[in-house]
Structure formats: C-alpha cells, structure tokens
Amino acid sequence: MNHMPILSLTLFIPVIGAIIIMALPKDQEKAIKYISALSTFISLALSLLVFITYDRSTGGMQFIESIPWIKDLGVSYALGVDGISMPLLLLTNLIGFSAVYASWNIRERVKEFFTLLLILITGVMGTFVATDLFIFFMFYEVVVIPIYLLVIMWGSTKRVTKEYAGMKLTIYLLIGSAFLLVGLIALFVTAQGMLGYPTMDITKLAGVDFPVGFQIFVYALMAFGFGTLLSMFPFHAWSPDGYAGAPTAVSMIHAGVLKKIGGYGLIRIGLFILPAGAKFIAPIIAVLAIGNVVYAAFICLSQKDLKYIVGYSSVSHMGYVLIGIAALNVISINGAVMMMFAHGVMAALFFSMIGNLYEKSHTRNVNDFGGLAHQMPRLAVGFMLAGLASLGLPGTVNFIGEFTIFVGAFSVFKVVAIIAITGIILTAVYILRTMADLLYGPRKEQWDHLQDLKGPEMIPLIVLGTAILVGGIFPSLVMDPISSGVSGLLAQIGTIQMGGIF
C-alpha cells in the first residue's frame, strides 16, 4: 500500500543533514544550524505523518521495510512501527527538533556539534523502529559514541567534571550493552538450535518456546542491561551526574528518549521474547522500582543544582515505568509506555529551560535565584508547565501515564503500589519548592539583565508544551495506539507461548 520507505527516510534524513554539514566550511554557522533544524523538522513531519496515517483499525506492525542483509546470521534490515514504538518515534523527533533549537546559541565547534547531534538522533530513532534484534543493537551502539564526545567537549563542570560525567555515562551504557550482547547471543544461538535456521527477527524469536530456566537467565541479563539504561535503582548513579555534565541538547535527548530505550527494550524484547522470564523477575524489578520512586524523590529534596533535581526526578519517574513493566498487564504496560512518552517531553522541556537559564546566568544553583517570574515570565511558564507535568497534574500527559500505571500496578502489587504512590506527595514537595525558590518571591536586582525567551528559544517551549497539553487533554490520541500495540503484543505472547500466564 505504501511504497515510499517512510521509516527509512525518517531515519536517515538527519544523517543526510549531517553529511551535508560535514561538507560545509566551518564558519558557516548559520547554514549549519538551518540545515540541522530543517532535517530534524522533516523527520518530525514524517513521523507525524506516520502517527496520523497509521491504520488504527488494523493495528500491528505497519510501514514495514525488510531487506535481507547477512544471510548466515539471519539478519535483515527490517523496520516497522506498531502502537508501542510509534509514540516513541514521535517523541524522539519532537525532542530532536527542540534540541536543535535549544542548542541555537552554541558558539564553539558548531559543525562538529550538530553533526554528532544528528547522528545521535538517528541512532535513537533506529532503536525504536528496528524489528530486527541485530539492527536494534547496532543502532543502540551508534548512540554511545556521539554521547561521549558531546558530553566531554560541550559539557559543563560543576560538582563533577564533564570528563568524569562523560566517562561515567559511556561506561554505564557500555556495561549495559555488554550484558545485553551476551543475552542476545544466547538468544540467537538457542533459537537457531531450536528452529533449525538462523534468525534475528524479533517476532520470530518470540515464537520460540524457550525453556523457562533459559528465559529467566536471559531476562535477568536484559533486566540488568536495560535496567541500567533506564536508571533502575541501584544502577542509577550515571543519570544525575551525566545530565549535570552534559550540554542541554544531550540532556534533553538522553533523559527524554535514550533512557526510554531501556523501557522499550524490556517490553519489546524482554517481555515479548521471554515472557516466563519476565514473570519470574518482575517482583524483583517492582521492589527495586520503589527504590527509584521514593529514594530518588527524597534525594531531590536536598538537591540545589537544577540539573541534579531533574536528574534525580527522572530516576524517580522511571520507577513508575518499571513498576508498570513489572506488573505485566495491559493497563500497567500501557501506562508504562505512556509514562515514557510523557516523561520524555517533560524532562526535555525542563532541561531546555534549565539550559537556557544557565546559558544566561552561568549558574544552576536554586539558591542563587528567586523571583525570576518578574524578569522572565515566558521562562517561568515553561518551568511551571514542566514542573506541573512532573508532579502528574491532570491536564498534562504525565497524569495519564501515572494514573494508568497506578491502576494497572495496584491490581498486582498492592503494597508496592501504595509505597510508590507516596511518590506523588514527595514529587509535589520538591517540585513546588524548586519552583517557588526559583521563580517566585521578591525580585532580585542582579538578574534584571536576563533576557526572556525569544525567537528560536521559544521553539522547545512551544513544541514540547503543546505535546504535554494535547496529550493530557486528549489522551486517547496517544493512548489508543499504545493500547492496541500492547494488547497485540500480549495477545501474541498468549497464543504463541504458554497460554494464560497473563
């Protein structure tokens, strides 16, 4: 029906942009920025087109492309989106586009910065649209290198140096991917033994009836690998330091979407291929998730650096996602996917506002500020919007995610859910404290010179703010595809695998 390889186009237009940028002379900064903006905008438009034209009545994988690549390994270049990956693809592009504008005021090594940024965006997108395990893993590795370079070159040094932050981020990512690789190879080899032919196709692998002990072993590896990426307690240490050290755009992309690869992988690969393993490990994940929600929220209370606050808060919010994944029912997993989307836009908005403020004031310490709403009303709106979304206020898309997760998780883990729900109080406390100290109170003369958001700086606020509100007011727009995707996934598990574990 659709002959245009729309997913490949979405995926590779930023790469084309990056190639053009590489060919440009160094001092053409304006042109470089316009090309970045244009290529991310085309990707955004294409992913919106995918989102709109996706046939909701049939559901399932759509926009499928498949080209055999390595026959002996059963690898093919296979792309496709379903209800789960589509919102995340859209999210990536929303944030990618905003991230270009959030980096509009970059002055040094502009060419290299935007090249790396565009490659990073492609890498993240690739993981969400790949339906082949090998391709998934390949894109995942593509992400690591630009992240490292971006952090150590354009990062900022506060409590920890940017080199330390970059190293920490990269090594954590690589440790996660090492565990993943072991699991992946184990899966491949075992599946080849059972099927008689090699395949890396996720759906085909999901059809294999792996022995339960093996499933538990591999899922444990994946829970560790993906869990690290999702900053699961106690493997979260990279997250606050990493975000604090990273430049704005990287914080946005990392907190916004890269982290979500962990949750996406747990659902798409872990749960789909290894349901029995998922069932066995789920209680452990649920307990660790409490650690995320409550522990990280408490730490937020004592943080003063804005980026650390958002960093720890994202650890805290990922706890909700983990609980949703651990509860293993349609509602909770719907909620988890929704929460990933919601947290993505919220965190990206937060980081872009912080980045903007830091760029102008050269400090991120909450105590240095106060009454900023006097001088920077638009920035205050951005902060408030992100803050209110963060504390899960109805009308923002985050509420939908949290509420759904709570409903789904509550039917499975009562105690865990109740403890996790205390998180909504703690979140309100730290977010409102931060907002009050930052934006409200008497006017401080020393910040009178700060300019409010204007021109390109408004783009992240408009794009991400719209996403937050539209998703919150019309949740069905996002939730319906997610729900169809998750139901489809769980239904396939139900029929192919041991019937009735869900």
Partner 1 sequence: MILQNILQNAWLIPFLPFLTFALIGLFMHRWPKLSAALSIAMIAVSFVLSVMVALVVFGNAEGVVYETATRWLSMPGLRVDMGLLIDPLTAVMLLVVTLVALLVQIYSLGYMHGDPGLASYYAYQSIFAGSMLGLVVANNFGQIFVFWELVGLCSYLLIGFWFGRNSAKEAAKKAFITNRVGDFGFLLGILFLQVIFGTLNFSELAAAIPAYANSGILIGISILLFFGPVGKSAQFPLHVWLPDAMEGPTPVSALIHAATMVAAGVYLIARAMFIFNTSAPTMTLIATIGGFTALFAASIALVQNDIKRILAYSTLSQLGYMVMAMGIGAMTAGMFHLMTHAFFKSLLFLGAGSVIHALHDEQDIWKMGNLSKKMPVTTWTFVIGALALSGIPPLSGFWSKDEILLGAFAGGHIGLYILGTLVAFMTAFYMFRLIFVAFFGKNTAGEHAHESPAVMTVPLIILAVISVLAGFVGSPLMNNAFAHYVTFAGAVHHEANLTVMAVSAVIALAGIYLAYLVYQKQVIDHAALKIRFRGLYNLLYHKYYIDECYAWLIKHFIDGSAKILEWFDLYVINGAVNAIAAVTGRSGYALRYTENGQVQSYALYMFAGIVVLLVSALCAVFSALA
Least gap, CB of 440 to partner 1 (angstroms): 4
Q: Which of 329, 361, 363, 492 binds partner 1 (CB under 8 A)?
A: 329
Supply angle C-alpha 60, 93, 403, rounded to 5. Answer: 65
Q: Report the residue from 422, 446, 451, 466 that binds partner 1 according to the rule CB under 8 A.
A: 422
Confirm or reject binding of residue 458 to partner 1 (CB under 8 A).
no
Q: Out of 4, 67, 284, 418, which residue is the one contacting partner 1 (CB under 8 A)? A: 418
Q: Is 360 in the site for partner 1 (CB under 8 A)?
A: no
Which is nearer to partner 1, 101 or 308 (by Cβ)? 308
CA distance linking residue 190 with residue 143, whole number of Å: 28
Nearest distance in Å: CB 295, partner 1: 6
Reduced to 3 states (helix: H, G, I; strand: E, B; else coil), residue 117 is: helix
Q: Which of 227, 371, 382, 481 binds partner 1 (CB under 8 A)?
A: 371
Nearer to partner 1, 103 or 303 (CB): 303
Selection from 141, 319, 308 nearest residue 227 by Cα: 319
Q: Sign of torsion, CA 216 218 220 226?
A: negative
Contacts of 195 (CB under 8 A, 6+ apart): 204, 208
The residue (of 284 and 418) whose beta carbon lies closer to partner 1 is: 418
Is residue 374 close enough to count as binding partner 1 by CB under 8 A? Answer: yes
Window 170 to 199, contacts with partner 1 (CB under 8 A): 171
Strand partners, 305: 365
Under the criterion CB under 8 A, does residue 436 sit at the interface with partner 1? Answer: yes
- b/e for 464-486, b at 16 or more Cβ within 10 A? bbebbbebbeebeebbebbbbbb
Using the rule CB under 8 A, which residue among 131, 404, 463, 493 binds partner 1? 404
- Taking CB under 8 A as the criterion, which residues in 279-298 touch partner 1? 295, 298
Choice from 394, 415, 451, 466 touching partner 1 (CB under 8 A): 394
Minimum CB separation of residue 465 from partner 1 in Å reads 11
**How far, in Å, CA of 502 to CA of 487, rounded?**
11
Min separation Cβ 303 and partner 1, Å: 7
SS3 of 395, please? coil
Q: Under the criterion CB under 8 A, does residue 161 sit at the interface with partner 1?
A: no
Stretch that binds partner 1, among 63-71, 91-99, 117-125, 404-412 (CB under 8 A): 404-412
Distance in angstroms (rounded) separating the CA atoms of residues 302 and 286: 25
Indicate which single residue of 49, 138, 424, 496 sits in contact with partner 1 (rule: CB under 8 A).
424
Give the DSSP letter of residue 369. -
Let me know: does 129 contact 104? Beta carbons within 8 Å.
no
Q: Give the nearer residue to partner 1 in terms of CB position, either 38 or 424.
A: 424
Distance, CA of 59 to CA of 385 (rounded, Å): 33
| Total of residues contacting partner 1 (CB under 8 A) | 55
The position carrying tokens 């980096």 is: 103
Type of residue at 317:
H
Q: 313 with 300: CB under 8 angstroms?
A: yes
157 lies in the site for partner 1, by CB under 8 A: no
400 binds partner 1 (CB under 8 A): yes
By beta-carbon proximity to partner 1, the closer residue of 195 and 237 is: 237
The reply to whether 211 sits near partner 1 by the rule CB under 8 A is: no
Smallest separation (angstroms) from partner 1 to the CB of 95: 23
Among 124, 250, 285, 373, binds partner 1 (CB under 8 A): 373
User: Rule CB under 8 A: is residue 118 a binding residue for partner 1?
Assistant: no
Judged by CB under 8 A, the stretch of 14-22, 58-66, 255-263, 419-427 that binds partner 1 is 419-427
SS3 percent helix, strand, coil of the chain, rounded to 5, is 75, 5, 20
CA pseudo-torsion sign 438, 442, 446, 451: positive
Does residue 12 touch partner 1 according to CB under 8 A? Answer: no
DSSP 8-class letter at 295: I
Closer residue to partner 1, CB minimum distance, 204 or 374 = 374
Rounded-to-integer distance, Cα 68 and Cα 399, Å = 42
Q: How far apart are CA 169 and CA 143, in angstroms?
A: 12
Q: Which of 390, 408, 398, 379 is nearest to 487 (CA)?
A: 408
CB of 231 to partner 1, least distance (A): 12
Is residue 378 near partner 1 by the rule CB under 8 A? no
CB neighbours of residue 46 within 10 Å: 19
Q: Is 313 in the site for partner 1 (CB under 8 A)?
A: no
Using the rule CB under 8 A, give the single segment among 178-186, 223-231, 233-241, 350-358 that binds partner 1: 233-241
Distance separating alpha carbons of residues 24 and 135, to the nearest angstrom: 30
- Give yes or no for a contact between 348 and 325, defined as CB atoms under 8 angstroms apart: no
Q: How far is the CB of 319 from partner 1 (least distance, A)?
A: 14
Write the secondary structure of 488-501 as one string of H (helix), E (strand) and C (coil): HHHHHHHHHCCCCC
The binding site for partner 1 (CB under 8 A) comprises 168, 171, 234, 236-237, 241, 295, 298-303, 329-331, 334, 371, 373-374, 388, 391, 393-395, 399-400, 403-404, 406-408, 410-411, 417-418, 421-422, 424-425, 428-429, 432-433, 436, 439-443, 475-476, 479, 483, 487
